[in-house]
């Protein structure tokens, strides 16, 4: 299931290997292993790391460094971006993320909120709500030069593990998001830039994964 989570999360970002192809690649000589397979393996390592380490900003950065080893240079692995980034389509710029100089403070604030939530007693439905909110907020801040979607989905599951138990690592959220990509992408469109995001319209995103599990949260 860890392999499956890493494969589907990578597929969302354009990796072409399916689960069978990835597992078969493990039988090959590592020196000639396809780059796409190694990217997935790095993400598997990050998921394993999340199973044995608490969710906080420092560990999130370590996990990003692991998962980005094969698509970012070393100075950018586990380091907040120092340039503007946006989301583009064939129509042009779709979304402009938070200005780069504001990213460190925004992530510090985000994890202050997360730390408070981790210390509180939450109903399971509340845990799913805040896990989805964390996923959404990380994606909208877009704190890294690359790997933002992967780390946002990992943090969602990481939060659920902290609140509902380690078995949450086996929740097939990444597969659901991959198979529901049109809805996933549409629900992320809450504004043309970070400052114009309307969180009052975040219900469809917040309910994506819980809805697939028969829950309705917002």
pLDDT digits (tens, 9 = 90+) for 20-44: 999 998 887 665 678 999 999 999 9
Question: Is 85 in a helix, a strand, or coil?
Answer: coil
Segment 67-112, tens digit of pLDDT: 999 999 999 999 999 999 998 888 889 999 999 999 999 999 999 9
Alpha-carbon span 41 to 23, nearest angstrom: 10
Q: Which of 77, 74, 160, 79 is nearest to 117 (CA)?
A: 160
Q: At what angle do helices 148-164 and 103-119 cross, to 10 degrees?
A: 20
Mean pLDDT taken over the chain: 94
What pLDDT shows up at residue 110? 98
By the 8 A CB rule, do 161 and 51 touch? yes
The answer to which of 26-40, 124-138, 150-164, 199-213 has the lowest mean pLDDT is 26-40
Q: Which pLDDT band holds residue 145 (cuts at 50, 70, 90)?
A: very high
Q: List, for residues 115-134, the tens digit of each pLDDT value.
A: 999 999 999 999 999 999 99
The confidence band for 138, taking pLDDT boundaries of 50, 70 and 90, is very high
pLDDT at residue 30, rounded to an integer? 62
Cα separation of the two ends of the chain: 28
CATH 2.30.40.10 assigned to 2-212: no
Give the pLDDT band (50/70/90) at residue 200: very high
Q: Is the pLDDT of residue 211 over 90?
A: no
pLDDT of residue 90: 84
CA-based radius of gyration for the chain: 17
Give the Cα separation of 60 and 62 in Å (integer): 5
DSSP per-residue codes, 123-173: -HHHHHHHHHHHHHHHHHH--SSS-HHHHHHHHHHHHHHHHH-GGGGG--H
* Residue 31 near residue 18 (C-beta atoms within 8 A): no
Residue 33: what pLDDT? 72
């Amino acid at each position: 299931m860890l392999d499956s989570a890493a494969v589907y999360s990578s597929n969302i970002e354009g990796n072409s290997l399916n689960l069978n192809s990835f597992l078969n690649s493990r039988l090959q000589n590592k020196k000639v292993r396809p780059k796409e397979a190694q990217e997935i393996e790095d993400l598997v390592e990050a998921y394993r790391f999340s199973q044995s380490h608490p969710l906080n900003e420092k560990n999130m950065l370590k996990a990003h460094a692991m998962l980005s080893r094969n698509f970012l240079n070393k100075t950018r692995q586990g380091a907040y971006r120092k340039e503007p980034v946006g989301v583009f389509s064939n129509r042009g710029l779709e979304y402009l993320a938070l200005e780069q100089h504001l990213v460190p403070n925004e992530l510090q604030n985000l994890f202050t909120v997360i730390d408070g939530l981790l210390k509180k007693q939450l109903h399971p439905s509340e845990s799913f709500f805040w896990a989805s909110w964390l996923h959404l907020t990380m994606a909208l801040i877009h704190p890294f030069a690359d790997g933002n979607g992967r780390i946002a989905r990992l943090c969602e599951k990481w939060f659920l593990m902290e609140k509902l138990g380690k078995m949450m690592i086996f929740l097939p959220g990444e597969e659901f998001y991959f198979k529901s990509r049109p809805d996933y992408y549409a629900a992320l469109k809450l504004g043309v830039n970070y400052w114009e995001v309307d969180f009052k319209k975040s219900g469809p995103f917040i309910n994506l994964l819980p809805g697939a599990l028969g829950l309705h949260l917002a």
